[in-house]
Structure 1
Amino acid sequence: MKQVPTLDMRRYDSDRAGFVAEIGAAYREFGFCCISGHGIDAALVARAYAAFRCFFALPAEVKMKYHVRGGGGARGYTPFGVETAKDSQYPDLKEFWHIGREIARDSRDAAVMPPNLWPAEVPGLRIDGYALYQALDDLGARVLRALALHIGLPERWFDDKIDHGNSILRPIHYPPITSPDVPNVRAGAHEDINFITLLVGASAAGLEVLTREGQWLPITTHGDAIVVNIGDMLQRLSNHVYPSTTHRVVNPAGAGAREPRYSVPFFLHPNSDFLIEVLPNCIDARHPSRYPQPITAHGYLQERLREIRLV
Structure 2
Amino acid sequence: MPLTSLPVLSLEAPAEDFSQDIGNSFRTFGFAMVKDHGIDRELIDRAWKLTAEFFDRPRDEKQKYFLEGLAGARGYTPFGTEIAKDAKAHDLKEFWHVGRDLPDGHPLADDQPNNVWPEAPEGFRETMEALFAAFDATGAKILSRIAGYLGLDEHWFEGPIEDGNSVMRLLHYPPLGDAAEEGAIRAGAHEDINLITLLLGAEEAGLQLKTRQGEWLDVSPPDGALAINVGDMLQRLTNHYLPSTTHRVINPSGERARHSRYSMPFFLHLRSDYKFETLPQCITEENPDRYPVSITADDYLKQRLREIGLLK
TM over 0.5: yes
- Kindly state the Cα deviation for residue 3 of structure 1 after the two structures are TM-superposed: 2.2
Paired residue secondary structure (1:275): coil
Equivalent residues in 2 for 1:219-234, closer than 5 Å: 219-234=219-234
- Percent identity of paired positions between Structure 1 and Structure 2: 49
Residue matched to 1:17: 16
Residue matched to 2:202: 202
CA distance in 2, matches of 1:3, 1:132: 30
Equivalent residues in 2 for 1:51-130, closer than 5 Å: 51-130=50-129
CA distance in 1, matches of 2:84, 2:203: 23
Residue matched to 2:216: 216
User: Is the deviation greater in 220-229 or in 165-174?
Assistant: 220-229
Q: State whether residues 207 and 218 of structure 1, in contact with CA within 8 Å, keep that contact through their aligned partners in structure 2.
A: yes
| Superposition CA RMSD, Å | 1.3
Once the two structures are superposed, what CA deviation does each residue of 1:38-66 show, in whole Å capped at 9, x if it has no partner? 11111100101111111100001100110
CA distance in 1, matches of 2:290, 2:258: 44
Q: State whether residues 85 and 190 of structure 1, in contact with CA within 8 Å, keep that contact through their aligned partners in structure 2.
A: yes
CA distance in 2, matches of 1:150, 1:10: 17
Q: TM-score w.r.t. structure 2 length? A: 0.96
Give the 3 Å change call, closer, same or farther, for CA 180–213 of structure 1 in structure 2: farther
- Kindly state the Cα deviation for residue 124 of structure 1 after the two structures are TM-superposed: 2.2
Residue matched to 2:241: 241
- The AA in structure 1 aligned to 2:258 is R
- The AA in structure 1 aligned to 2:207 is L
Residue matched to 2:272: 272
Once the two structures are superposed, what CA deviation does each residue of 1:14-50 show, in whole Å capped at 9, x if it has no partner? x232221111110000110011111111110010111
Give the 3 Å change call, closer, same or farther, for CA 279–46 of structure 1 in structure 2: same
Paired residue secondary structure (2:64): helix
Q: TM-score w.r.t. structure 1 length? A: 0.96
Structure 1: gaps (5+ residues): none
CA distance in 1, matches of 2:242, 2:226: 18
| Ranges of 4+ aligned residues in structure 1 off by more than 3 Å | none
- Kindly state the Cα deviation for residue 223 of structure 1 after the two structures are TM-superposed: 2.8
Residue matched to 2:7: 5
Residue matched to 1:186: 186
CA distance in 2, matches of 1:268, 1:69: 24
Equivalent residues in 2 for 1:157-176, closer than 5 Å: 157-176=156-175
- Kindly state the Cα deviation for residue 184 of structure 1 after the two structures are TM-superposed: 5.3
CA distance in 2, matches of 1:257, 1:180: 14
Number of residue-to-residue matches in the alignment: 308
- The AA in structure 1 aligned to 2:148 is L
Q: State whether residues 190 and 246 of structure 2, in contact with CA within 8 Å, keep that contact through their aligned partners in structure 1.
A: yes
Q: State whether residues 184 and 250 of structure 1, in contact with CA within 8 Å, keep that contact through their aligned partners in structure 2.
A: no
Q: State whether residues 91 and 188 of structure 2, in contact with CA within 8 Å, keep that contact through their aligned partners in structure 1.
A: yes
Give the 3 Å change call, closer, same or farther, for CA 245–132 of structure 1 in structure 2: same
Q: State whether residues 239 and 278 of structure 2, in contact with CA within 8 Å, keep that contact through their aligned partners in structure 1.
A: yes
- Kindly state the Cα deviation for residue 287 of structure 1 after the two structures are TM-superposed: 1.1
CA distance in 1, matches of 2:196, 2:17: 21
Residue matched to 2:33: 34
Structure 2: gaps (5+ residues): none
Residue matched to 1:151: 150
CA distance in 2, matches of 1:224, 1:72: 30
- Kindly state the Cα deviation for residue 180 of structure 1 after the two structures are TM-superposed: 8.1
- Kindly state the Cα deviation for residue 163 of structure 1 after the two structures are TM-superposed: 1.5
Q: State whether residues 16 and 148 of structure 2, in contact with CA within 8 Å, keep that contact through their aligned partners in structure 1.
A: no
Q: State whether residues 91 and 184 of structure 2, in contact with CA within 8 Å, keep that contact through their aligned partners in structure 1.
A: no
- Kindly state the Cα deviation for residue 288 of structure 1 after the two structures are TM-superposed: 0.6
Once the two structures are superposed, what CA deviation does each residue of 1:159-181 show, in whole Å capped at 9, x if it has no partner? 11111001000001011002286
Once the two structures are superposed, what CA deviation does each residue of 1:210-265 show, in whole Å capped at 9, x if it has no partner? 00010000011213310110000000000011100000000112111111111110
CA distance in 2, matches of 1:162, 1:180: 41
Q: State whether residues 186 and 249 of structure 2, in contact with CA within 8 Å, keep that contact through their aligned partners in structure 1.
A: yes
- Kindly state the Cα deviation for residue 2 of structure 1 after the two structures are TM-superposed: 3.7
- Kindly state the Cα deviation for residue 87 of structure 1 after the two structures are TM-superposed: 0.3
User: Is the deviation greater in 181-190 or in 125-134?
Assistant: 181-190
CA distance in 2, matches of 1:179, 1:152: 51
- The AA in structure 2 aligned to 1:170 is R
- Kindly state the Cα deviation for residue 292 of structure 1 after the two structures are TM-superposed: 1.1
Give the 3 Å change call, closer, same or farther, for CA 163–123 of structure 1 in structure 2: farther
CA distance in 2, matches of 1:161, 1:56: 34
